[in-house]
Amino acid sequence: MSDRYGKEGRILYGRRRGKPLRKGQQRLIKTQLPELTISLDRNQLKPSSLFPENCREYWLEIGFGSGEHLAWQADNNPDVGIIGCEPYLNGVATLLGKLKEQSATNVRLHNEAAELLIDKLPDASLNRAFILFPDPWPKTSHNKRRFVSTSNIAALARVLKAGSELRIATDHTDYGAWILWHMLQSKEFVWEAEKPEDWRSRSSDWPSTRYEMKAIEKGLRPVYYRFRRR
């Protein structure tokens, strides 16, 4: 894992590569990824300029892993432009395979830390954001590496429109408490839960993933938070 730097010298963390890519995956990375990759050369990235057609809304998924959730959302919301951020190349390759099968045209990708892209987005330019099962960095000395932080919450508040939704999920008990504490400190978001069932289960438009199912099989109990931008 190499350290990268964001705005104001922030260190950005994230694993870049795992097992060697198969030939088919290498081909997808070489041919498809360049077509979908978002260039950060411009001072500002207006979401509407990233997609060939006008979209009803623009969504952002931070750390999409193998892309199961993102691919499902793209397939079920063809009129929504979805931006996916994931530094892990193996996960990107897996998603590219799914998008090819679906013939999806409403996805754009950023194969670096999400913070770098968020810094380029205009104010109030997104309608929804997802942070699903992010790395919990369980060691106390590594907690500062967690994506959910005061600075990143503020950055998301800046780019999300009033009334938009932020969904966060984790199967790590300590990180779940950490997320809720940090989100409740923010004056920009409202926690939408009214009863325990609201954070213990997903809604019908929130598909499960293999990672999530494996966690449940191990006896872990994921939490599913939904916050509304004021």
Enzyme catalytic residues:
135
Angstrom distance (rounded) from CA 62 to CA 83 = 9
Rg (CA), the chain: 17
CA torsion sign for 179, 85, 211, 207 is positive
CA-CA distances (angstroms) from residue 160 to 95, 108, 121, 225?
A: 25, 18, 10, 16
- DSSP E strands in 6-144: the ranges are 11-12, 57-62, 80-85, 107-110, 126-132
Identify the bridge partners of residue 80 per DSSP, sorted by sequence position: 57
Nearest Cα neighbor of 128 from 161, 92, 86 is 161
Closest CA to 225 of 179, 170, 167: 167
Q: What is the residue whose two structure tokens read 């793209």?
A: 74
Spatial contact of 230 and 156, defined as CB atoms under 8 Å apart: no
How long, in residues, is the chain?
230
